[in-house]
Amino acid sequence: MAAQVGPSGLVVHTDINAAMLSNGRDRLLDKGLVGTVRWSLANAECLPFADQSFDCVTIGFGLRNVTDKSKALQSMFRVLKPGGQLLILEFSHPTTPGLKPLYGWYSFNVLPKLGKAVAKDEASYRYLAESIRRFPDQETLLNMMRDAGYEHSSYHNLSGGIVALHRGYKF
């Protein structure tokens, strides 16, 4: 995104977790992306930015971890400029026939064991599977976005619906 906005633009990287924010900051600094990137410890449910501050708001694999998703969608809407867009990339619900039971089995039986073996953290990978299972399906999230005021909202399934990209605009 820093490359997209160019030297006169601004990208603000936020996270509610200071350690995650610091880790992301370090990764960007290692890549030399310092001029157009700022960091802010922030809760998505009450973003600490002025109304109509941003042309685009994105959240990747984070909305499912937000307690009040509707409140977060409203907060993101508030900080968007008219004509701005919200992009949500998130794990979702499989739509390809036959994929849902296989994905469910994998998520609860294989993924935690991989987490234990690779990251020495089975609990986090079990949480991941649970948080994906509890996350609203594509149509429900789309309706939540519309309820928050987003127009021309849509989504595009990726990997048979395991992941979906939702998009909405503020007019």
Determine the pLDDT at residue 118.
Answer: 95
Convert the pLDDT of each residue in 42-85 to its tens digit: 999 999 999 999 999 999 999 999 999 999 999 999 999 999 99
pLDDT of residue 33: 74
Which range (3-17, 85-99, 148-162) has the least confidence?
3-17
pLDDT of amino acid 36: 84
- pLDDT value of position 31: 84
H or E element, residue 118: none
Does the domain at 2-94+135-169 match CATH 3.40.50.1980? Answer given as: no
What would the pLDDT profile of 104-149 be if each residue is shown by its tens digit?
A: 999 999 999 999 999 999 999 999 999 999 999 999 999 999 999 9
Instruction: For CA atoms 56, 141, 90, 156, give the dihedral sign.
Output: negative
Is pLDDT at 32 greater than 90 in this prediction? no
36 vs 155, higher pLDDT: 155
> According to the model, what pLDDT value does residue 23 have?
94
Strand partners, 157: 164
CB burial readout 98-118, b (16+ within 10 A) else e: ebeeebeeebeeebbeebeee
pTM: 0.94
| pLDDT confidence of residue 145 | 98
If you ran DSSP here, which 8-state letter would residue 135 be given? Answer: S
Q: Where are the beta strands (DSSP E) in the chain?
A: 11-15, 37-41, 54-60, 80-91, 151-158, 163-169
State yes or no: pLDDT of 2 exceeds 90. Answer: no
CATH 3.40.50.150 intervals, the chain: 2-94+135-169
Query: Distance between CA 109 and CA 94 in Å, rounded?
Result: 17
Phi then psi for residue 60, to 5 deg, are: -120, 115
Confidence (pLDDT) at 68: 98
Residues 6 or more apart from 16 whose CB is under 8 A from it?
Answer: 41, 42, 43, 44
105 contacts 164 by C-beta, under 8 angstroms = no
Strands 163-169 and 80-91: antiparallel
- Please check the confidence at residue 29 and state whether its pLDDT lies above 90: no
> In terms of C-beta distances under 8 Å and separation of at least 24 residues, what long-range contacts does 138-144 make, across chains too?
138/92, 138/93, 138/95, 138/164, 138/166, 141/69, 141/88, 141/90, 141/92, 141/166, 142/166, 144/69, 144/70, 144/73
